[in-house]
Amino acid sequence: MKLNDFMLKNFPGLELRSPLFYSWDASIRFELGVDESTVSIHENPRYLQGVYRRAIDLFEALHAPQDVLYLVADAHDLGKGYALQRKLNVFTKYVNTTSVLRHLQHENRPFVYPEDDEDGIYRTHRFSLRCRRSDFRYAALLKAICNQDMGKRPSIHYPVYFVNETKGTIYYVYDDRGCDVLGTEPGVIHSVYEEFNDWILDYDRAEIDKVFSCSG
């Protein structure tokens, strides 16, 4: 099954674009970055280690080693010229085998934020790879995503989505502050709602509790 077919069947009407949490009812927003001192987060090594730990723990709770996933990366062309090869690093650097990379798909599509494209000239290059969790170095990839605003390398500065075909979930780390978890329906992700309840972002907790408190 291709990514677009899976999305139409399981997440009808949902566009992969930030912020995912506010676009789907069965969704949870978790806090990744918790400042553990009065020191700037950029000078506090414990801060980023905590971010990594939470991002990886959530990922492993959602994805078993043999689950089939779509690893999705969006590269936005804002009309100033664009080098496709540069954006393939998320796949060539973190996917374990070249045989898996042969299945990489590329779609040149309208800009996913049309409200910011008055002239209709922007494009979104969407790369997707159907693979298993065991096919890529997810821990290293998640750390690079979390590094994007922290001045550390390696870092990834474009959206990366983990769409789980087996479980019917979407996992999106938007930066070191937090991540969104979506399920086809609330029961699909109720276990992470319970297990990681303390990590739910307080700002959105009331809305999340309304959806998940009776879904177990």
* CA–CA separation, 41 and 150 (whole Å): 9
Residue with tokens 């070191």: 176
Q: Both tokens of residue 134?
A: 């065991």
The mean pLDDT of the chain is 91
Confidence (pLDDT) at 215: 65
Confidence (pLDDT) at 124: 92
Confidence (pLDDT) at 178: 97
Worst-scoring range by mean pLDDT, 126-130, 139-143, 153-157, 190-194? 153-157
Q: Is the pLDDT of residue 161 over 70?
A: yes
Q: What is the percentage of the chain residues whose pLDDT exceeds 90?
A: 75
Confidence (pLDDT) at 85: 47
pTM of the model: 0.93
Helix/strand/coil for 44:
coil
Where does the pLDDT of residue 194 fall: very low under 50, low under 70, confident under 90, or very high at 90 and above? very high
Across the beta sheet with 169-175, the strand order is 27-31, 178-183, 169-175, 160-164, 68-77, 123-132, 105-110
Q: Is the pLDDT of residue 82 over 60?
A: no
For the chain, what are the domain ranges? 3-211
Mean pLDDT of 188-198: 98
Mean pLDDT of 35-46: 65
> Can the peptide bond before residue 19 be classed as cis, meaning omega within 30 degrees of 0?
yes
Helix/strand/coil for 213:
coil
Is 81 or 199 the better-scoring residue by pLDDT? 199
Q: Are 181 and 171 in contact (CB under 8 A)?
A: yes
Q: Is the pLDDT of residue 169 over 60?
A: yes
The total of other beta-carbon atoms located within 10 Å of residue 137's CB is 13
Worst-scoring range by mean pLDDT, 7-21, 149-163, 188-202? 149-163
Using alpha carbons only, what angle is made at residue 117 by residues 114 and 123, rounded to the nearest 5 degrees? 75
